[in-house]
């Protein structure tokens, strides 16, 4: 039997058994274009092996794409950390000022930073301590929670994250507005922390500090 007939007979058996062009081509070394030409008018019903490949193909592709993305994110995060390097004292000054520009109060001589991200709150506390020299007793923290937040768990969470003690914590405020409750439900599991600086009789940590910070902001934003 000529080789071409032998190959076609074997390819026909495989095709009738439900194998795809890719699988037949891999088994017999026949190009997919030739197989398509031979079987274009022949009925085809994929077998379990082919169906499994069809099903698993997108899953494998999605898994490969996901893993590639995870790897890229990890590499870029590591690169970013490396590029930044260690913060100098001036770096911390400007970084904290940037946070205050975005999250701090600008009016009524009140010095306050508001955020739900513990990393932002920790940075703000570090800024006040190390750049401004603020004593522990001048910090006050008030939690703004929603009805679905657990008050005790939220207080413990923020105590751990900030390192502040019971004496720094003020009475918790619960936002009971119905529209706010729906919008924020489950999105802020420990509410929002409001860090306020209290002068406690020392004007250097009151209005004077507020005006210094305003001066820093003006100096940075006017350039």
Q: Is a pLDDT exceeding 80 seen at residue 180?
A: no
What letter would DSSP give residue 104? Answer: B
User: Nearest 5°: CA angle at 58, between 55 and 62?
Assistant: 140
In the predicted structure, residue 59 carries a pLDDT above the cut 70:
no
Grade residue 127 by pLDDT with cuts at 50, 70 and 90.
very high
pLDDT tens-digit readout, 198-211: 999 998 999 999 99
The confidence score (pLDDT) of residue 179 equals: 62
What is the pLDDT, as a whole number, of residue 148?
Answer: 84
Over residues 51-68, mean pLDDT: 73
Q: What would the two tokens of residue 218 be?
A: 């003006």
What are 79-117's pLDDT values in tens digits?
Answer: 999 999 999 999 999 999 999 999 999 988 999 999 999
Amino acid 171: pLDDT? 95
Q: Is residue 189 predicted with pLDDT exceeding 60?
A: yes
36: region left, alpha or beta (phi > 0 left; psi from -120 to 50 alpha): alpha
In order of 80, 127, 139, the CA distances from 134 in angstroms are 31, 9, 8
Q: Is the pLDDT of residue 158 over 90?
A: yes
Looking at residue 43, its pLDDT comes to: 84
pLDDT in tens, 9-56: 898 998 888 888 888 899 889 998 998 888 888 888 888 888 787 777
- Cβ atoms of 197 and 205 within 8 Å: the answer is yes
Identify which of 170, 179, 105, 109 has the alpha carbon closest to the alpha carbon of residue 142.
170
Q: Measure Cα distances from 204 to 107, 160, 172, 196 in Å.
A: 18, 28, 28, 15
pTM of this structure: 0.69
Nearest to 103 by CA among 193, 180, 18: 193
Q: What average pLDDT does the segment 61-69 reach?
A: 74
pLDDT of residue 92: 96
Q: What torsion, rounded to 10 degrees, do the Cα atoms 149, 172, 211, 207 define?
A: 180
As a whole number of angstroms, the distance between CA 190 and CA 143 comes to: 8
63 pLDDT above the threshold of 80: no
- pLDDT recorded at residue 117: 95
Strands 192-197 and 173-174: unpaired
What local confidence, expressed as pLDDT, does residue 100 receive?
97
Alpha carbon 46 to its chain centroid, in Å, reads: 43
pLDDT recorded at residue 205: 95
């Amino acid at each position: 039997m000529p080789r071409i007939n032998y190959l076609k007979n074997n390819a026909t058996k495989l095709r009738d058994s439900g194998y795809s062009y890719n699988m037949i081509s891999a088994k017999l070394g026949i190009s997919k274009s030739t197989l398509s030409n031979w079987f274009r008018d022949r009925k085809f019903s994929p077998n379990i092996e082919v169906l499994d490949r069809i099903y698993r193909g997108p899953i494998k592709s999605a898994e490969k794409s996901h893993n590639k993305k995870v790897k890229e994110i990890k590499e870029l995060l590591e690169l970013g950390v490396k590029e930044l390097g260690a913060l100098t004292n001036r770096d911390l000054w400007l970084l904290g000022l940037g946070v205050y520009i975005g999250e701090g109060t600008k009016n009524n001589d009140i010095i306050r930073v508001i955020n739900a991200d513990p990393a932002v709150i920790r940075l703000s506390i570090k800024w006040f301590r190390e750049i401004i020299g603020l004593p522990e007793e001048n910090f006050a923290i008030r939690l703004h929670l929603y009805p679905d937040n657990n008050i005790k768990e939220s207080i413990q969470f923020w105590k751990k994250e900030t390192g502040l003690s019971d004496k720094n914590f003020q009475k918790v405020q619960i936002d009971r507005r119905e529209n706010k409750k729906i919008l924020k439900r489950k999105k802020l599991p420990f509410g929002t922390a409001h860090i306020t600086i209290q002068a406690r009789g020392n004007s250097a940590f009151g209005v004077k500090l507020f005006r210094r910070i305003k001066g820093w902001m003006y100096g940075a934003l006017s350039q």
